[in-house]
Structure 1
Amino acid sequence: MMYSFKLAIIFILITVAYSENCTDGKDILEHHLSTKTPYRLVANKEDIEIKNEAIKGCLPHKIWMVIRHGTRNPSAAFIEKMNDRLPEIRTLILENNPEPTEFLRQSDLYAFEKWKSKLQTTDEKKLTHEGEDEMLELAERMQARFPNILRPVYSNTSYYFKYTATHRTKASAKFFASGLFGRHIVKDVWFPKPVKNDPTLRFYKLCPRWQSEVKNNPDTFFERKKFEESDHMLTIINSVNNALNLDDELDLDDIYLMYLTCAFETAWNKKTKSPWCSVFSMETVRGLEFAEDLKYYYRDGYGYEVTYKQACKMLSDVISYFENKSEYPKAIAYFTHSGTLLKLLAHLGLYKDDEHLKHTHYGSNSHKWRVSKIDAFGSNIALVLYKCQSKYKVTVLHQENVMKLPNGEEFTDFSKFKKLYKDSVNECLFDEICSVQ
């Protein structure tokens, strides 16, 4: 009994140290969890900085936001793997590591002993408490920055919210609204009935060419497959097995399962370290993160022209909204998914590398397309229209940071912005872009 009590104390002390370390800004493992990275690790929680000279005489006039849902539960298929395979792996780890090792501390072993999956398949993809907090806090920060637009009094004239036909985006929209107006007002907020395949919020669902040439095309994952077959990935697999004193019991599927469980449990819990994170070194987790970067680069990013060109649907929506002479609504907020955010980022020309990302680039750590940073849970893009003395100007925010556009400017004339993205204004021929060749 006393031994168990001591173990518990050790575990608590380690957990406190871990939670403090998570916020110190250092390059730690939890910053490399691909699209399951929690938003708290990438959000800009400080003031938005725009040079005083540029913003002089200008006031925020309208804001348009697209927001990925907050932290969620995994899919039903993944939950089944968590419930079936992870207990088997945990048993292997404990049986082969009865005492602390150079790699596994006593607190890690204790955490494995206590670990169990708490999800059922009926919980799939639901927004979690952390996801609720992400939306509440994002809304509060944006309101503090743009108080004349995001006013705390709700009016369906001033605000237009829309979400996709999923639990996680619906809940995200409601908690974002709670952050703006308070929980007691949310019942009065009007949300239009969601559309299964919304032509603006999930345009790619209505793009047959993208579906056939990209999503369902095995060649899309060629670079990721080459990386998984490389000596780098073999080293990662061997490294994890050796660190856990296992004789090749774990294959690549097992390692991805542990990596993504580490990611989900990190996102769900601010203060408690997932035992599944303890099986990875920085080197191994960076390799798995790179494999994910390759996947999303080719499926949702710059790998294929049709992927990002179809996102003109969203940008043309922005431009039409900003061009509308009516001052209302003051704010539009769309709640959607990873695939939408990434395609829009690529359409805007952000995080674009000089050459296509290849499996041979592993180890350089120089590529810009890093989904852990650009597509965490709760990721968001905001375009803000400023009314100046004689013109309108636009700035683009991503993860609440001001972005430099391809023209080199952070705060640009609206006329320049439209010229920069003229294809989205004049040539958003979605049906033509998406027709199967």
Structure 2
Amino acid sequence: MTLYVSVTLVFLLLFYFCSCSSLSAAATSFATDESFDVRQHLSTVSRYGAGKETTIGSYVPSTIPEGCNPIHLNLVARHGTRSPTKKRIKELDQLAIHLDELLNEAKRGEKSLPQKIPSWLSGWQSPWKGRLKGGELISKGEDELYQLALRIRKRFPELFNEEYHPDIFSIRATQVPRASASAVAFGIGLFQGNGTLGPGMHRAFSVTSESRASDVCLRFYDTCETYKEYRKSQEPAVDKLRGPILEEIAAELVKRYQINFTRQDVASLWFLCKQEASLLDITDQACNLFTASEVELLEWTDDLELFLLKGYGKSINYHMGLPLLQDVVQSMEQAILAKEENHKPGTFEKARLRFAHAETVVPFTCLLGIFLEGSEFERIQRDEPLSLPPKPPLPRSWRGSTVAPFGVNNMLVLYQCPGNASHSTSASKGYKSEYYVQVLHNEIPVPMPGCYNTDFCSFEVFKESIVNPHLKHNFESVCTAQAKEEFPSPKPSSIACKLLNFIRSFFQRDSYGNAKINQKNEL
């Protein structure tokens, strides 16, 4: 176990035992508390609507100055709500068998179950019983992306008033079906009414994907060998961090229902709760086994895993996403060049729309410094680890339901403003106009510590304060420095990433290698 893992484990265990509050003091079901909605506490299994309703503090968004118009939009989005994966479906089938065994044991020779045992447990079967496949986008997920597209088109009509062309509206997705299906659902909403197909006047549009083995823009986590080694070493430690919480809740459930639940049972029931509540809107079965305080603790353990394995817990988590950040910056630079050179409408890109996974969006969120205070932003730029998210009931900004629900998205909108400041950075570069970036998380403008805690930031300041400090790293040094020689670098194959490769030569000394990597199974 590495020193980092050891220190993290010791810290969290001490934190747990020092701040542990009695769960038995709140042994009533959350169903009795009408103000508590479990669907807002499902971490990364939360539906987009529940996550979007959680506001980011009391921040007041910037007012876009008069005369400023959007000229380009970058979108990085997670797929919508999906069904359980094949592996998880099997786990739920095993849970049904195990619950039946526990209930038979609880009868203790009696004909009926003790009254304390919820009636739904008797004869329970998984809603996904018999399913041989899983992980696909469900109808709720389709609607999440479809509605998102409608809102974006309404919010930024200037960006989507031109005839469709794949070079103007670039749509990209990973090769995982739920991601590409999300891209399709989004495209249907975005271009609805602009075509000739069917009563909805739909039109065909292009969705492109990279090879699974070389997608450094959207699947960098699967092409970065150093990260995969780090994650493999951390996962057992994260499981140990969950242990005390699961043990305590298991003990409470045994007392409450007179069923010999183990901590593994608690983990499986919590997973069932999340699936039932998020996918089926069922909150009075598995979720109702837990009190509100227990739900908050279980949510915290999920958020902790997200923090340590995908977020600010280790710099490798987000530094490996630099190709995506540079691709975003490159697209904005191209849009600025097109405006400065007075390119004709319909000849340059106006939106670059990407659909991927939580493992893509969360590192990108971290690169932007969202959900950080000023001092924390300075620490990540020095590659220093951050403190773990505080344990309930203490408040925290790092919540999976806000950071990475289904359909989570970051939008970076580039604005062109009148160039009336001769001393400005844009003027010094010879630009005729001023250019600003607005950052939105789940459609809500969010402050960036690197941009004076505002959501509306000069493009040059955005590059200087947020992007450039990360560029002391590059994908090769981050992902191969600690890896063995048999872990070669991935080779990008998309035009965007080839252009990115050329652009990065101005920022970095290294370039992508030409070796291929072994193909891995999709998440």
Which category describes the TM-score, using the shorter chain as reference length? 0.7 to 0.9
Structure 1 runs, 4 residues or longer, greater than 6 Å off: none
Under a length normalisation based on structure 2, what TM-score does the superposition of the two structures give? 0.70
Secondary structure at the aligned position of 1:133 is classed as helix
Query: Larger C-alpha radius of gyration, 1 or 2?
Result: 2
2:469 and 2:236 mapped to 1: Cα distance?
Answer: 28
**Aligned 8 A contact 2:39 2:278 in 1:** no
Cα-to-partner distance string for 1:61-84 (whole Å, 9 max, x where unaligned): 110001100111122111001112
Identify the match of residue 389 of structure 1 among 402, 418, 435: 418
Q: Which residue of 2 aligns with 1:368?
A: 397
Secondary structure in structure 2 of the residue aligned to 1:80 = helix
- Matched pairs, number: 399
TM-score, normalising length from structure 1? 0.83
1:25-64 matched pairs, under 5 angstroms: 26-43=35-52, 50-52=61-63, 54-64=64-74
Query: Contact 1:130–1:269 (CA<8 Å) still a contact in 2?
Result: no
State yes or no: 1:326 paired with 2:338.
yes
- The structure with the largest helix share of the pair is 1
Question: Which of 256, 260, 268 is the aligned partner of 1:243?
Answer: 256
Q: Which stretch has the larger CA shift, 154-163 or 337-346?
A: 154-163
Q: How many angstroms apart in 1 are the aligned matches of 2:274 and 2:363?
A: 23
Unmatched segments (≥5 aa) in structure 2? 1-30, 340-347, 377-384, 420-433, 483-523
Report the AA paired with residue 255 of structure 1: V
Q: CA deviation at 1:318?
A: 1.0
Question: Aligned with 1:352: secondary structure?
Answer: coil
- 5 Å-filtered alignment, 1:5-404, equals 26-43=35-52, 50-52=61-63, 54-89=64-99, 92=102, 98=113, 101=116, 104=118, 109-110=119-120, 116-151=126-161, 154-182=164-192, 184=197, 188-197=204-213, 198-212=215-229, 214-218=230-234, 222=237, 224-230=238-244, 232-246=245-259, 249-270=260-281, 272-273=282-283, 275-324=285-334, 325-326=337-338, 328-352=348-372, 354=376, 356-358=386-388, 361-390=390-419, 391-404=434-447
Alignment of 1:403-418 (within 5 A): 403-406=446-449, 407-418=452-463
**Matched residue type, 1:202:** R
Could you list the per-position Cα deviations for residues 270-297 of structure 1 after superposition, in whole angstroms to 9, with x for gaps in the alignment?
4x43621111111111111111122111
Deviation (angstroms), 1:49? 7.4
Worse-matched range after superposition: 390-399 or 185-194: 185-194
Deviates more, 1:376-385 or 1:422-431: 422-431
Distance 1:283 1:32, change over 3 A: same
Q: Deviations over 1:126-151 (max 9, x none)?
A: 11111111111111111111111134
Distance 2:91 2:417 in 1: 55
Q: Percent identity?
A: 24
Q: Quick check: 2:38–2:277 contact (8 Å CA) kept in 1?
A: no
Counterpart residue type for residue 302 of structure 2 = E
**1:36–1:260 CA contact under 8 A, matched in 2:** no
CA gap 1:115/1:28 in 2 versus in 1, 3 angstroms: same
Tell me the CA shift for residue 364 of structure 1.
Answer: 4.5
* 8 A Cα contact 2:72 2:159, kept in partner: yes
Query: In 2, are the aligned partners of 1:60 and 1:387 still within 8 Å (CA)?
Result: yes
1:389-422 CA-to-partner distances (Å, cap 9, x unmatched) read 1101111111111010013111111111111124
* Larger CA deviation: 237-246 vs 346-355: 346-355
After superposition, the Cα gap between the structure-2 partners of 1:314 and 1:193, relative to the gap in structure 1 and judged at 3 Å, is: closer
Deviation at residue 207 of structure 1 after TM alignment: 1.2
- Alpha-carbon distance in structure 1 between the residues aligned to 2:476 and 2:128: 44
- Listed one character per residue, the Cα deviations across residues 74-131 of structure 1 (whole Å, up to 9, x for unaligned) are 2211100111223432674596684765x85xxxx35866754335453211111111
